[in-house]
Structure 1
Amino acid sequence: MENANQNPFNKSELTTILVVSDVQKSKVFYQKVLGSELFREYGGDSVVLKFLGHWILLVSSGEPTADKPDIRFEPPAQPNKVGHAYTIRVEDCQHSYEILKARGAEFITPPYDWGAEIRCFFQDPDGHLFEISEYRG
């Protein structure tokens, strides 16, 4: 087993890169609806946000580069096909739903009670999926 002092990630932080079709529209969504904090903007097409102790980098589409020669950045082509999602654990799903809905989040359904969990889903302007979940088990 690896010694904790040898872990290269001990003093690291994780950033999620989301490719969006309109950086400014997405920035407004993440700040207004989710309450994220703007850290910085650069290059005219990139925004760094802090959300729940996590970094989110919003970027526009991009061509391959020397360090990723066969990879192209594009927003989701089909918002109803998910390859990545966020789950936000909350104390009260119904209350969180009402707050986010009032801020402009468009939910797929109202909170659904599964017994041990109540959850519901919404998407950002490009279809990136978010779940709010209250675990009661």
Structure 2
Amino acid sequence: MQDFPAGAELTHIRVVRDVNRSRGFYRDIAGAELIREYGGTSAVLRLCGTWLLPVTGGGPTDDKPTMPFTELEHPYTVSHAMTFWVSDCQAAYDTLRARGARFLTPPVDHGFEVRCFFRDPDGHLLKLSEAR
């Protein structure tokens, strides 16, 4: 595989029901920096060294003519997740929980990893992981 040009970065696009609610979650709970907003249909956030764009759904466009952006249909299934690699899973869990994050379980120690999962307001899965 050919390397990307110098300076290339990765952006995660998340289709959400309410951009304001998602922006608040990622900014106020996850600690993202709000970079800009676009008329209530999308926001640009910087989070843990990567870009995150919560956007509202929409139909096909001229550059993706057969592919609409749609919201997560079944919030109890996983097709994409983001992992936050942390040095102390329990401390990160405590901080995020105090800010309002709702976790599926407290951190679980699997020996090689301590991890726990939570969801954003649209049901997208997020993971805290402390590698050992």
What TM-score do the two structures reach when normalised by structure 1? 0.92
1:58 aligns with 2:58: no
Q: Hey, what does 1:75 align to over in structure 2?
A: 71
Q: Hey, what does 1:120 align to over in structure 2?
A: 116
SS of the residue 2:9 aligns to: coil
Aligned-residue CA RMSD in angstroms?
1.3
What TM-score do the two structures reach when normalised by structure 2? 0.95
Q: Which of these residues, 58, 82, 85, is aligned with residue 81 of structure 2? A: 85
Distance 1:64 1:35, change over 3 A: same
The structure that has the greater radius of gyration is: 1
Q: Distance in 2 between matches of 1:12 and 1:95?
A: 32
1:14 aligns with 2:1: no
Q: Distance in 2 between matches of 1:8 and 1:92?
A: 32
TM-aligned CA deviation for residue 116 of structure 1: 1.4
Q: Which of these residues, 97, 103, 107, is aligned with residue 101 of structure 1? A: 97
Q: Distance in 2 between matches of 1:8 and 1:111?
A: 36
Identity level (%): 52
Distance 1:84 1:66, change over 3 A: same
Q: Distance in 1 between matches of 2:42 and 2:86?
A: 29
SS of the residue 2:83 aligns to: strand
Q: Give the gaps of 5 or more residues in structure 2.
A: none
Alignment length (residue pairs):
132
Can you list the C-alpha shifts for 1:92-112, whole angstroms capped at 9, x where unaligned? 111110100000000000100
Q: Distance in 2 between matches of 1:105 and 1:79?
A: 16
Q: Distance in 1 between matches of 2:63 and 2:110?
A: 45
Matched to 1:128, the amino acid is H
Can you list the C-alpha shifts for 1:74-124, whole angstroms capped at 9, x where unaligned? 110011111110111111111110100000000000100101111000000
Q: Distance in 1 between matches of 2:73 and 2:67?
A: 15
